[in-house]
Amino acid sequence: MAWQDILDKLETGEIRAAEKTEEGWKAVTSAKKAILEAFREGKNVDYSGIYEGFVDKTTMPPRRFSTSDGVRLVPGGSSVRRGSYVAPSVIIMPPAYINTGAYVDEGTMVDSHVLVGSCAQVGKRVHLSAGVQIGGVLEPVGMNPVVIEDDCFIGAGCIIVEGMVVRKGAVLAPGVILSASVPVYDLVQKRVLEKGEDIPEMAVVIPGSRPLRQDFAKDFQLSAQCPIIVKYRDESSNASLELEDLLR
């Protein structure tokens, strides 16, 4: 299948850059290869007359939406790139950026200053609060992108990179940083998640720190940041998120 056809199908959601399997989320290498081929084939072009002052690849123009798409793209500097899927009922507040290969499902809020990186996967009814950075991965083609499953709440300023998966219904408090190289501590289950392990369903994660044990670190009372699971969602925490429906 030609790269043009694959990018078209990425935009309609017929093809995704990652898919859920019995072993977990896996990158769809054919989709990522098509995106890379599109970059190689493209030439820089001046988009003046359509988007004043912008220069980008001929193969990667910004997407345009109409009322029939059911997407609310609020004026003010946001952009959705060619080859990305944005479902009906998604709201995009300015400025925000959704890169090629990304998938943003129904009912999701993409707030101001949010980045949804290349091939990142965002589920249904997710709230990406202001300043959230969702990492994207194009190369190597076999590397998994970040995945945010359905009904997650991602607080302001969170950073999620290195192919981390946040499972259904999880809540990240503002400022949480998730990467495959940083351990996550589960106070409820009394264990340390393995590096790169999925954030469990319904987990409530806050930013924390742990003391460093080297002598130099002890002398200066240094610590390293680490995410901490402090609870799992219940009726009270769910009620605190009902405001989201009112905001929509």
Reference 106, options 127, 83, 125; nearest CA is: 125
Name the domain count of the chain.
1
Q: Is residue 247 part of a domain?
A: no
Strands (E) across 90-222 are located at: 91-92, 97-98, 103-104, 109-110, 115-116, 121-122, 127-128, 133-134, 147-148, 153-154, 159-160, 165-166, 171-172, 177-178, 184-186, 191-193, 203-211
Q: Does 5 have pLDDT greater than 80?
A: yes
Q: What percent of the chain has pLDDT over 70?
A: 96
Q: What percent of the chain has pLDDT over 90?
A: 85
Domain span including residue 100: 3-241
pTM for the predicted model, two decimal places: 0.92
- What's the pLDDT band for 241 if we cut at 50, 70, 90? low
- What's the pLDDT band for 243 if we cut at 50, 70, 90? very low
Average pLDDT, the chain: 93
Q: Is residue 83 part of a domain?
A: yes
Question: What local confidence, expressed as pLDDT, does residue 246 receive?
Answer: 44
Strand 203-211 and strand 191-193: the pairing is unpaired
Q: Is residue 248 part of a domain?
A: no
- d(CA 37, CA 42) in angstroms, rounded, equals 9
With contact defined as beta carbons under 8 Å apart, do 135 and 168 qualify?
A: no
With contact defined as beta carbons under 8 Å apart, do 207 and 177 qualify?
A: yes
- What's the pLDDT band for 135 if we cut at 50, 70, 90? very high
- What's the pLDDT band for 51 if we cut at 50, 70, 90? confident
What are the CA-CA distances from residue 233 to residues 158, 169, 178, 200 (Å)? 19, 8, 19, 11
Question: What local confidence, expressed as pLDDT, does residue 48 receive?
Answer: 81
Q: Is residue 26 part of a domain?
A: yes
Which CATH number goes with the domain that contains 194?
2.160.10.10
